């Protein structure tokens, strides 16, 4: 049977989450020594472990059918026929311009005629062109943040997460050029059987993600507030409402999104909801 080939990062910030997203989707990944190619028993998927920078090219060359990379790597290395198939919501970061802390900054033209060190020349060039700024791009492959301190550049363009690396190198973030999260990339034109495996994989991943973004909620509500309470927690279709043994009260069961969790809990309490229980959901089939 034809297998779908997925490329994931061999070791780094994406690798653990990439493996766990497949595990949670019920795809058993072989334990032990990481081979270059792993075959997953029970699901027609073949896993290739690669450097993240190489993944877009391998997908373009059809060595892999899909891959998990940071959007930043996709934007830097992705070619025309590649596309984002699914956003995965982990390894979030931003790509920013930063300059020495003591410098005055009054807009992108700060960089006019200056040197910027980066490992992402394509994204940076696109931005500078859009802004009409002519700067010298100094491509270096690692430790970009030390470039200004050693006189190699006037500023840097790099990945920022907490920002502490910038601070400890005496730099300040002045422009956010893109935001990034892990994504599944692929290309159009998979064979029917591979497309079917991909659809099944995406269905599973979405069910796991929906589950982790939602909670199951049970509460007791006074009957005269049932409509207001149901409106706050509409659930997947509508809440389940069951009478309690105590007259005038009902039990309400529904699903609640993680996004507005505390806000809605507060509103529910104001409406007189009691005995609120919140339970994690393992899978949510949409």
Q: How far is the CB of 53 from Zn ion (least distance, A)?
A: 4
Residues of this chain that interact with ligand PRT (CB under 6 A) are 9, 12-14, 51-53, 70, 72-73, 91, 93, 145, 158-165, 180
Q: Which does 212 bind (CB under 5 to 8 A by kind): Zn ion, ligand PRT, none?
A: none
Q: Which two tokens stand for residue 31?
A: 């334990």
- What does R_g of the chain's alpha carbons equal in angstroms? 24
> CB nearest ligand PRT: which residue?
70
Q: Which long-range contacts (CB under 8 A, 24 or more apart) does 164-168 make?
A: 166/98
Specify the residue, 8 or 256, whose C-beta has the smaller distance to ligand PRT: 8
Looking from the CA of 142 toward its CB, the CA atoms found within 13 Å total 1
- Helix locations, the chain, DSSP H: 15-24, 55-60, 71-77, 121-131, 164-168, 192-212, 226-232, 261-270
Partner in contact with 14, chosen from ligand PRT, Zn ion, none, beta carbon below 5 to 8 Å by kind: ligand PRT
10 belongs to the binding site for Zn ion (CB under 5 A): no
Residues 220 and 249 sit within 8 Å (Cβ to Cβ): yes
CB of 70 to ligand PRT, least distance (A): 2
3-state DSSP helix/strand/coil % of the chain, to nearest 5? 30, 30, 35
Instruction: Please state the closest distance from residue 281 (CB atom) to ligand PRT, in A.
Output: 27
Query: Shortest Cβ contact with Zn ion: which residue?
Result: 53
Residue 8 binding result from ligand PRT, Zn ion, none, given CB thresholds of 5 to 8 Å by partner type = none
Runs of H (alpha helix) within 25-105: 55-60, 71-77
- Nearest-approach distance from CB 12 to Zn ion, in angstroms: 7
Backbone phi, psi, residue 234, to 5°: -65, -20
Q: Is 208 left (phi over 0), alpha (psi -120 to 50) or beta?
A: alpha
Task: Look at residue 60 and give the partner it binds from ligand PRT, Zn ion, none, a contact being a CB closer than 5 to 8 Å depending on partner kind.
Answer: none
From the list 65, 11, 26, the residue with the least C-alpha distance to 196 is: 65
Binding-residue pattern over the window 39 to 68 for Zn ion, x denoting contact by CB under 5 A: -------------xx---------------
Q: Give me the least distance between CB of 151 and ligand PRT, in Å please.
A: 20
Which CB atom, from 140 or from 264, has the smaller least distance to ligand PRT?
140
Closest to ligand PRT by CB, 7 vs 190, is: 7
Least Å from the CB of residue 69 to Zn ion: 9
Give the three-class secondary structure for 188: coil
- By a kind-dependent CB cut-off of 5 to 8 A, residue 228 interacts, out of Zn ion, ligand PRT, none, with none
* Footprint on this chain of Zn ion (rule: CB under 5 A): 52-53
């Amino acid at each position: 049977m034809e297998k779908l080939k997925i490329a994931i990062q061999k070791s780094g910030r994406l690798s653990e989450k990439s493996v766990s997203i497949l595990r949670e989707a019920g795809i058993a990944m072989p334990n032990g020594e990481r081979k270059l190619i792993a075959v997953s028993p029970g699901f027609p998927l073949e896993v290739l472990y690669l450097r993240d920078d190489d993944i877009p090219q391998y997908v373009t060359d059809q060595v892999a059918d899909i891959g998990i990379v940071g959007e930043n790597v996709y934007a830097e290395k992705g070619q025309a026929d590649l596309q984002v198939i699914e956003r995965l919501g982990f390894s979030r970061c931003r790509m920013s311009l930063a300059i020495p802390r003591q410098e005055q900054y009054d807009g992108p033209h700060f960089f006019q005629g200056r040197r910027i060190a980066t490992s992402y020349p394509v994204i940076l060039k696109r931005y500078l062109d859009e802004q009409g700024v002519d700067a010298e791009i100094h491509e270096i492959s690692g430790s970009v943040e030390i470039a200004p301190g050693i006189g190699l550049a006037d500023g840097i363009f790099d990945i920022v997460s907490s920002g502490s690396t910038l601070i400890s190198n005496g730099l300040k973030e002045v422009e956010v050029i893109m935001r990034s999260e892990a994504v599944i990339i692929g290309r159009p034109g998979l064979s029917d059987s591979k497309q079917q495996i991909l659809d099944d994989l995406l269905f599973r991943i979405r069910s796991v993600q929906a589950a982790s973004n939602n909670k199951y909620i049970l509460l007791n509500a006074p009957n005269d507030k049932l409509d207001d309470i149901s409106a706050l927690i509409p659930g997947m279709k509508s809440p389940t409402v069951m009478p309690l043994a105590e007259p005038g009260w009902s039990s309400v069961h529904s699903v609640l999104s993680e996004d507005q969790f505390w806000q809605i809990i507060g509103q529910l309490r104001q409406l007189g909801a009691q005995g609120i229980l919140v339970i994690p959901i393992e899978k949510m089939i949409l």
